[in-house]
Amino acid sequence: MLRKEFSEDILSGRKTTTIRLGKIVPKTHEIMIHSGGRPIAKALIKKVVYKHIYELSEEDAKKDGYESIEELVKSLENLYGRPIDMNEIVTIIEFEVIKKFTELDEKDVYMGLTPLEIAMISNRYLRDELSENDFRIIDAILRYKSIRAVSLKLYGSLSKRWLIRKVLRKCLYRLMRKNVVKIRNTAIEM
φ, ψ of residue 2 to 5 degrees: the values are -110, 155
Q: Quick check: 23 and 91 in contact, CB under 8 A?
A: yes
Q: What does the pLDDT profile of the chain (190 residues) look like in tens digits?
A: 567 777 888 888 889 999 999 999 998 898 888 887 778 888 999 999 999 999 999 999 999 999 999 999 999 999 899 999 999 999 999 999 998 877 666 777 787 888 999 999 999 999 999 999 999 999 999 999 999 999 999 999 999 999 999 999 999 999 988 888 876 654 333 2
pLDDT value at position 190?
23
Q: Which CATH superfamily is domain 4-100 in?
A: Sulfate adenylyltransferase (3.10.400.10)
Burial of 151 (0-12, 13-18, 19+ CB in 10 A): buried
Q: How far apart are CA 147 and CA 18, in angstroms?
A: 33
80 contacts: CB under 8 Å, gap ≥ 6: 21
Q: What strands lie across the sheet with 30-35, from one edge to the other?
A: 17-21, 89-100, 38-52, 30-35
Q: Quick check: 90 and 21 in contact, CB under 8 A?
A: yes
pLDDT value at position 99?
87
pLDDT digits 0-9 by tens, 18-56 = 999 999 999 889 888 888 777 888 899 999 999 999 999
pLDDT value at position 7?
84
Q: How far apart are CA 75 and CA 158, in angstroms?
A: 51
pLDDT value at position 71?
94
| 113-133: b (≥16 Cβ within 10 Å) or e | bebbbbbbbbbebbeeebeee
Angle between helices 147-155 and 161-177 (to 10 degrees): 120
φ, ψ of residue 112 to 5 degrees: the values are 90, -5
pLDDT value at position 1?
57
Q: How far apart are CA 104 and CA 175, in angstroms?
A: 12
